[in-house]
Amino acid sequence: MGIFLIKRFGVMTLTALVLTFIVFFLTNLYPNLEKLAKSQGNQRMSDAAVAGYLEKNGYLEPIVLRYGQWLGIVPGWRRQTEDGTIRGRCVEFGMQPDEIPTRCGLLQGNLGHSTVAKVAVNEIVWKRLGASGVLMFWVMVVMVPMAIVVGVLAGMREGSRTDRSLSTFAITTTATPEYISGVVLVALFASSAVGLKWFKGSAASALNDGVTFDNFTLPVLTMALYGMGYIARMTRASMAEVMTSQYIRTARLKGVSFHMIVLKHALRNALIAPFTVIMLQFPWLLTGVVIVETLFNYKGFGWTLVLAANNNDIELLISCSMAAVVVVLITQLISDIGYVYLNPRIRIS
Amino acid sequence: MTPLNWGQIFAQLLIQFVPVWVTLLVIFAASITFKRRLGLYGKLFDSKVGMIGFGIVAFWLFTAIFSEGVAIAGINLVPAIATFDPLVQIAELKNKVPGTFIPDSEELAYLLGGDNLGRDVFSRMVIGAKGVMSIAPAATTIAFMVGITLGLPAGYFGGRFDTSLSFVANLVLAFPVILLFYLLVTPEIREAGTEIPLWLNNTWTTSIPNILAAILFAFPIVFFIILWNSKFFTQPATRLLLISLTLLLGFWAYSGLAFNADPLSAFGLGVFGMSPNLLNVFVSVVFVNSPTVFRIVRGLTLDIQTRDYVAAAQTRGEGPWYIMLWEILPNARGPLIVDFCLRIGYTTILLGTLGFFGLGVSPESPDWGSTINDGRKLLSIYPHPALPPALALMSLVLGLNLLADGLREESLKD
């Protein structure tokens, strides 16, 4: 297990490095930098002025070197201007020359500055991740039990009418991406013109006034519905398989009541497969978070990502991507380890 | 004029779709009559779920084909389903409810209302089907070619080749899809690169989408050449014919699609070509889908290569590519066909997501994703512009899912 973990961790780090480099490369393509220079200076800058601005702010160094600076393993760039002030990656406003650290990057806990909001990226990313964490938590709280109940009810008597109708329901929800169920739910429950007017069509107030039924039901339901179908179908398949196994037949022949069989004997074995699926749902949850937060105007991580991408806010976008990639990789690791623990038949040598 | 009521709207909608109903009726009647002779397709008509799924998918397919009518040599063979031009704006009909008549007319109405610019919601939905039904299956097919061409040898040979390809596939899969789209489908990325002059005054930019297109569109050609070569290497005449045909057609399409330089377009006969916007979207969707197909094909190959018929072929002295393409691949077709249906649905969802975030599509485009995005801004006051495309997309994906379920059920019965 120890060697497996070390190996897995090594591959994970390598993946994270390659992925962040790709993001770094794609966001720092020259047209993007040109757009950045023009939005920081003025829109009618000449090509030479753009190049001058980029040169002055260290954007034209080789990409690998800049990636190293961002990671914090290469000393940050530094330059003395004509009037004697020092400019550089690590220079904060009002710093004395001897206070300036040589390296400042990811390893030093410095993610740079948002060129649009003019604040450190650290501040934004952690706050927004927290906000999205709250949303994800509630989605999980609603989605997982709902999916397991639907899957178990459908799988315990395969082919029955309950099974047919629940399976159709599960297929329908997997066929309805968030941007559709969100629109339909808002039209049904939150439209001011028609419909039931039960909830609010925006979750913007949840950040300041706290989570309430009014502002959180629709976003949570929108996300939970799409993810639920898939988990429910997995649970159903694995439940149906368990119910045909020998030991269930023995239990039935012994005269154990049906709900005791389902709850005590079948359920635990049936839940191994769905566990992995639930963990692997996290990458999808991230995409869902982006859509739902845009749709319901909830200022979380996904909302920030869209904003950063639309505003060409390079440092913020890189950090958001990194956070997303890390979340995905960690869940993959947890799902691998959890699978081994839950299923004693798998041995890693 | 008072607007039409819901009964009249519904009746009018049924009438608009008459060409589709007729075609569906003919297809269903023929398929059910001859279902015993039609293989897996015929078996589909044994399962209720499969039939419903097939019906929905066929409905949207024919809606796309007949959306603007079919005319040969100026004679209208099939009337158009769309009632208006999807881009024409009538200012009086901004956000008007379904069934509102256009000004100065007692016959023509906006059946499903007008959107925020006064365009016909119904026509936009119908024309939007065309984009989806042409891009999604094509992108999925290319993704399958890529996945199969790489997945078969990865599973069959294993070793370092497999390890490195699997690593790359996992890299792509660890990216949240939406982030990849935001990075890959931007106007800036299409500009980055140097221009290279090609034949006939065409130029090609070495931007990332173009490079990806050049790589991904080469896979179908490679696939077919290996396919013919491995089967017919003992019959040089057939082999030469098939391979030269593949190369001719392949490079014609390739030069048009990947380089936007169809050699015949100089004579006004160009067939293949894609706008840079569309190419960018297409390539990104293929790029996102192929690693999953790769993993599926690799897994299936690992499973199937332990079978006796593979060992028999090896003993006969067949080459590795013959075994992969003519022994393993045909036996993996069941799960692959099922996944193909599911994947078209997933691609449809991805295309909708792209439209929803306004990535890569022209602002006026009637595709479902962008129409939903346009409509959602006024959703709480006027829900009618956003709902028809939303329900259309949902029903198409549902149909594809049901079709896949039906196929799975029927193929498991053997």
SS3 A277: helix
Chain B nearest C-alpha distance from A103 (Å): 28
For residue B380, give the nearest of A31, A201, A286 by CB distance: A201
Q: What are the residue ranges spanned by the domains of chain B?
A: 6-411
pLDDT tens track for A1-58: 678 788 888 888 888 888 888 888 888 888 778 877 777 777 777 778 777 777 777 7
Residues 201-230 of A with CB under 8 A from B: 201
Residue B141 to residue B282: CA distance in whole angstroms: 11
CA B404 to chain centre: 15
Cα separation, A64 vs B117, whole angstroms: 48
Structural domain spans, chain A: 2-108, 121-348
Please name the helix (run of DSSP H) or strand (run of DSSP E) that holds residue A88, with its range, or none: strand A86-88
Inter-chain CB proximity A187 and B349 less than 8 Å: no
- pLDDT reported for residue B200: 66
Residues 75-114 of B with CB under 8 A from A: none
Contact residues, B window 179-238, toward A, CB-based 8 Å cutoff = 179, 182-184, 186, 188-189, 191-192, 208
The number of beta carbons lying within 10 Å of the beta carbon of residue B326 is: 15
CA distance A56 to chain B (A): 21
Per-residue confidence (pLDDT) for residue B58, from 0 to 100: 92
Cβ contacts of B171 on chain A, cutoff 8 Å? 15, 18-19, 22
The Cα of A240 is separated from the nearest Cα of chain B by a number of Å equal to: 15
Distance from CA of B167 to the nearest CA of A (A): 8
Are A286 and B178 inside 8 Å of each other by CB? yes
Would you call B176 and A295 a contact, using CB atoms and an 8 Å cutoff?
no
Contact: B178, A329; criterion CB under 8 Å? no
Cβ atoms A156, A242 nearer than 8 A: no
For B389, name the nearest residue in chain A, comparing CA atoms only.
A180
Is the minimum CB–CB distance between B167 and chain A shorter than 8 Å? yes
> How many whole angstroms separate alpha carbon A246 and alpha carbon A251?
9
- Per-residue pLDDT of chain A (349 residues), as tens digits, is 678 788 888 888 888 888 888 888 888 888 778 877 777 777 777 778 777 777 777 777 788 888 888 887 777 777 766 666 666 666 666 666 666 677 777 777 777 777 777 777 777 888 888 888 888 888 888 988 898 899 888 888 887 888 888 988 888 888 888 888 888 888 888 776 666 677 776 766 767 777 777 778 888 988 888 888 888 888 888 888 888 888 888 888 988 888 888 888 888 778 877 777 777 667 777 788 888 888 888 888 888 888 888 888 888 888 888 888 888 888 878 877 777 776 666 555 4
**Each residue's pLDDT expressed in tens, for chain B with a length of 414 residues:** 677 778 887 888 888 888 888 888 998 888 888 888 877 788 888 888 888 999 999 999 988 888 887 777 777 777 777 777 777 777 777 777 777 777 777 777 777 777 777 788 888 888 888 888 888 999 999 999 999 999 999 989 988 998 899 889 888 888 888 888 888 887 777 777 777 777 666 677 778 888 888 899 999 999 999 999 888 888 888 889 998 998 988 888 888 777 777 666 666 666 677 777 888 888 999 999 999 999 889 988 888 888 899 899 999 888 889 999 998 998 888 888 888 988 999 999 988 888 888 886 777 778 888 888 888 877 777 878 888 888 899 999 999 998 988 888 877 765
Q: CA–CA distance from B107 to each of A190, B3, B83, B373, B396 (Å)?
A: 34, 11, 11, 30, 30
- Please state, as a whole number, how many other Cβ atoms lie within 10 Å of the Cβ of residue B17: 17
| Spatial distance between the Cα atoms of B370 and B359, rounded to a whole number of angstroms | 9
Which of B56, B186, B207, B338 is the best mutation test for A, with the most CBs of A within 10 A? B186
C-alpha to C-alpha distance for B338 and A185, rounded to whole angstroms: 30
Q: Which residues contact A38 (CB under 8 A, 6 or more apart)?
A: A45, A50
Q: Which residues of B touch A288 (CB under 8 A)?
A: none
Q: Cβ contacts (< 8 Å) between A32 and chain B: which residues?
A: 186, 188, 192
Residue of B nearest to A290 (CA): B178
Q: Rounded distance, CA B112 to CA B366, Å?
A: 15
Q: How far is B339 from chain A (nearest CA, A)?
A: 14
In which residue are the tokens 């979207």 written? B281
| A63 has a chain B CB within 8 A of its CB | no
Question: 3-state SS of chain B?
Answer: CCCCCHHHHHHHHHHHCHHHHHHHHHHHHHHHHCHHHCHHHHHHHHCHHHHHHHHHHHHHHHHHHHCCCEEECCEEEECCCCCCCCCCCCHHHCCCCCCEECCCCCCCEECCCECCCCCEHHHHHHHHHHHHHHHHHHHHHHHHHHHHHHHHHHHHHCHHHHHHHHHHHHHHHHCCHHHHHHHHCCHHHHHCCCEEECCCCCEEECCHHHHHHHHHCHHHHHHHHHHHHHHHCCCHHHHHHHHHHHHHHHHHHHHHHCCCCCHHHHHCCCCCCCCHHHHHHHHHHHHHHHHHHHHHHHHHHHHHCCCHHHHHHHHHCCCHHHHHHHHHHHHCHHHHHHHHHHHHHHHHHHHHHHHHCCCCCCCCCCCHHHHHHHHHCCCCCCCCCCHHHHHHHHHHHHHHHHHHHHHHHHHHCC
pTM assigned to the model = 0.87
What topology does CATH give the domain A121-348? MetI-like fold (1.10.3720)
Supply φ then ψ for residue B114, to 5 degrees: -110, 155
d(CA B91, CA B102): 10
B176 contacts in chain A (CB < 8 Å): 283, 286-287, 290, 324-325, 328
DSSP single-letter state for residue A106 = G
| Residues B183, A183: C-beta atoms closer than 8 Å | no
Q: Judged by CB atoms within 8 Å, which residues 25-44 of A form the interface with B?
A: 26-27, 29-32, 35
Q: How far apart are CA B41 and CA A149, in angstroms?
A: 35
Contact (CB, 8 A) for A222 and A182: yes
Q: Is A117 helix (H, G, I), strand (E, B) or coil?
A: coil
State the distance between the two ends of chain A, measured CA to CA, in whole angstroms.
7
Task: Choose among A15, A194, A286: nearest Cβ to B170.
Answer: A15
